[in-house]
Amino acid sequence: MHTMPKTARLAATLTLAATAVCGPLTGSAFAAPEPSVTGLYAPSALVLTVGHGENPATVTPERAVTLTCAPKASGTHPAPFDACAELRDSGGDFDALSGRAGAMCSKQYDPVTVTVHGVWQGKRIAYERVFANECLKDSGASVLYAF
């Protein structure tokens, strides 16, 4: 079994990371940005997880999605465009997100924890919220937590 020297592994890792962030190099210049990108934007990329339990430190994530809102809405979230619009409308305040009107949920206590980690408009985010049950989670925000 052949192992790569530490410096070669580090160089390969840095090259892959730079390519992922900046795009591939063409000649002596970076690749041109996509035509739809017309300037600098604050990064907005989040990872959301959900799991059963009331202590975010010990809950095992059961599902996870990604949500990127700049330069365009994308990710594995089932409704990235609507989730990004909801966050923009709330000013990025996760606590300000309101539930859907008329949601009927039982009072059964089966806690569900949602975590949000990443960057929202250039600022680091580490947010946790515990809902009494899955129904309340899904109605807690019109789109963001429904995954």
Which two three-digit tokens encode residue 8?
A: 């070669």
pLDDT by residue (tens digit) across 30-42?
Answer: 443 444 444 566 7
pLDDT tops 90 at residue 146: no
Average pLDDT, the chain: 76
Domains and CATH numbers, the chain: 1-32 (no CATH), 34-140 (3.30.350.10)
Q: Which residues contact 9 (CB under 8 A, 6 or more apart)?
A: none
Instruction: Answer yes or no: are the C-beta atoms of 45 and 120 closer than 8 Å.
Output: no
pLDDT by residue (tens digit) across 55-92?
Answer: 988 999 999 999 999 888 999 999 999 999 999 998 88
pLDDT by residue (tens digit) across 102-140?
Answer: 678 888 999 999 999 999 988 999 999 998 998 888 876
What pTM, to 2 d.p., does this model score? 0.67
- Type of residue at 86: E
pLDDT by residue (tens digit) across 4-36?
Answer: 454 444 444 434 334 444 444 443 344 434 444
CA distance 79 to 145: 10
The overall longest dimension of the chain from CA atoms, in Å, is: 62
Residue with the bigger pLDDT between 18 and 48: it is 48
Which candidate, 103, 101, 102, 99, places its Cα nearest to that of 90? 99
pLDDT tops 70 at residue 54: yes
- Cα torsion angle, 91, 130, 114, 143, sign: negative
Q: What's residue 98's pLDDT? A: 64
